A and B are shown apart, each in its own frame.
Chain A
């Protein structure tokens, strides 16, 4: 206590925890973010607001309270569509997190640098294909008549394209397409995250007797936790918006895949076949709330943003 009292008071009080010192720099910063902010307002915030307006009104512009939401939720296609997407998301997120993290750890720690660089490049290639093109590739892969892996499909008892597309297989198929196009990019990101871990930490672990798996489990994965959370949030958001894949398979299979397989497709049917833009907006608000809840939960549980301030 005495010691503390005798401290010189000339030293400026350290900034309170969590409050960043004021930054210098005139208006240039605003200029640089202006372009993005403008586009965000026009194509992000404004359409969201418009969707909310539509979701709470009917086609005469009258206020309907929550009636639009209860009406679309009672639609016979509503629960199946969300059920499909739930199964798909569970499959996709588990596979994505486990395999990308595992692959990144192996690439970072167990392979020679040149081999690892080559593999990272190869993994990334499918991600360079645009969404539609990648689905077209899979249309060939999944048709036993033309597929290079037709022996595998036939071995699994699927002799025709129609058999491959049986309703129970669809979540797995969409998971495969999503993994094939998306996971390569995330492996590169995870690899970069692992690179950020100081060598001394890994060395200390080794000196303490940790093997490669122990190091991965207790040091590397906990230290890239916020990247994993970040990946999960983005993959979840992208997954709930599944549209192109089922829509194209629906066309290519001549209608054997339901045209309202995913909630986004259901919203599309509401808007452009039933001419019911208000109902479509209500479904999109459901998706928005779902995405926000999940992201909020993950951010809260992982302390993602507080880590950044250290």
Chain B
């Protein structure tokens, strides 16, 4: 008995000692003040505070180029016309649909200290992280192109505001390849046949949608089901969903009348079945409903990529109209869906060849006149519009609407460190598919954007 009690007391004492030691240790840590767990690379982190120092340059060194499949032929064309430049061309997803492949890889290259490609095609979102270090002490991936690499008069030739997503801390980290200004696409043959005129205001658009739903059920005047539909509709409505008021402060206010007016309008057309919640790019849409699309409010590349390539609409049927206006507006504001950028790696051992390549890709008529999408470089855009290959598919001349829309892209929709598609696709679209209305989903969307912004280090405000 005695011995067993002693053993128990002994054990007890031991555990008390362990506990005491743990407490001392814990309080020691508290007293010493544990270091903050917050990563030091938020949006407030300064990129390129010290001057850009290129690595040792090697004339004629091979450059590695990462491009998406759409821009691959352009890179190959450069290689063909510049056979003396040693190039290794790699195809990747180019950041489509919010993919973060490039970012993932660069994070790893920054940790291993090697492997970076010299030139990459990416999305404006990519520039937000590429212009800042991915970890303390790392050099930002993108080289500041305005720093003795690309002449100022070349940079000045880009369409107004098209280089804004490239600019951080007073430097320009990318050259914009193309812009994707939103216009109103319509099937001119069907509109003429049914005696409709393309709308010029949102009120007319809504009225025509209701009319189509009644007179020609099954035909559609738009879709909200794609990963980027919000950029066509809510951006055009000047909704403050992704509005950076300062470099680190994001304004999100989906209860703003400029958001609710668009949500209300779309809800009415969705319940009338004139606007579908299935995406143009969703499985089976082209086959089942592609021929039923009377109108689509979307980017300049819809003509070639949605109507021609996906829906196989015959030539000379599709036309474009300028962006729609809201009451009280004299000039429209419109959205922008994508538009890629080219970046040069700050780790490149052949900056000369890399810079020459991105300059040729973005500004030369030789490449851009026959580019798949609308060039951001203004002189090249003129050449693009003059190229019959870019317009002979359409029923009408698209130059007017395209040029007008390019100047009307609203600048209040900011380029954030996180993709604006994630919250829309994973929160709003499933709710719409489940039968909820857009208006009733706005609070959930607001919360999703705010949460994501905070997780990426932004301060969030709703006014």
Contact = CB atoms under 8 A, between A and B. Distances in A.
| Most chain B beta-carbon contacts within 10 A, residue among A58, A66, A77, A143 | A58
Contacts of B225: 162
B429 interface: yes
Interface string B128-160: 010000111000000000000000000000000
A310 to B, nearest CB: 30
Contacts of B40: 58-60
Contacts of A58: 35-40
A166 B226 contact: no
A145 B283 contact: yes
Interface in A31-73: 57-60, 62-68, 70-71
Interface string B6-44: 000000000000000000000001100011111111000
Q: Give the interface size class of chain B.
A: 35 or more
Interface in A192-230: none
A1 interface: no
Interface stretch (A88-96, A102-110, A125-133, A266-274): A266-274
Contacts of B107: 271-272, 275
A239 interface: no
A54 to B, nearest CB: 11
B328 interface: no
Given A254-B226, A255-B421, A258-B426, A60 B136 contact: yes
A161 B283 CA distance: 7
B412 interface: no
Nearest to B32: A63
Contacts of A59: 39-41, 135-136
Interface string B425-458: 1100110011000000000000000010011100
A161 B279 CA distance: 11
A143 B433 contact: no
Contacts of B430: 162, 165-167, 256
Interface in A238-263: 251, 254-259
B136 A272 contact: no
A142 B36 CA distance: 45
Given A254-B227, A255-B98, A275-B135, A63 B35 contact: yes
Interface in B260-291: 277-279, 281-284, 287-288
Contacts of A274: 39, 455-456
Interface string B90-107: 000000011110011001
B154 to A, nearest CB: 32
Interface residues of A, number: 42
Tell me what chain B mostly uses at the interface: helix, strand, loop, or mixed. loop
A276 B455 CA distance: 11
B162 to A, nearest CB: 26
A274 B107 CA distance: 9
B26 to A, nearest CB: 8
B201 interface: no
A278 interface: yes
A176 B452 CA distance: 31
A171 interface: no
A67 B36 contact: yes
B127 to A, nearest CB: 15
Contacts of A258: 426
B223 to A, nearest CB: 12
A78 B97 CA distance: 24
A160 B433 contact: yes
B422 interface: yes
Contact of B282 (A146, A162, A259, A276): A162
Given A145-B288, A167-B430, A273 B103 contact: yes
B104 A273 contact: yes
17 contacts: A58-B40, A60-B35, A68-B37, A75-B455, A162-B433, A163-B433, A167-B430, A254-B97, A254-B226, A254-B227, A256-B426, A258-B426, A272-B107, A273-B100, A273-B103, A275-B134, A275-B135
What 3 pairs between A and B have smallest CB-CB spacing? A255-B425, A62-B35, A145-B284
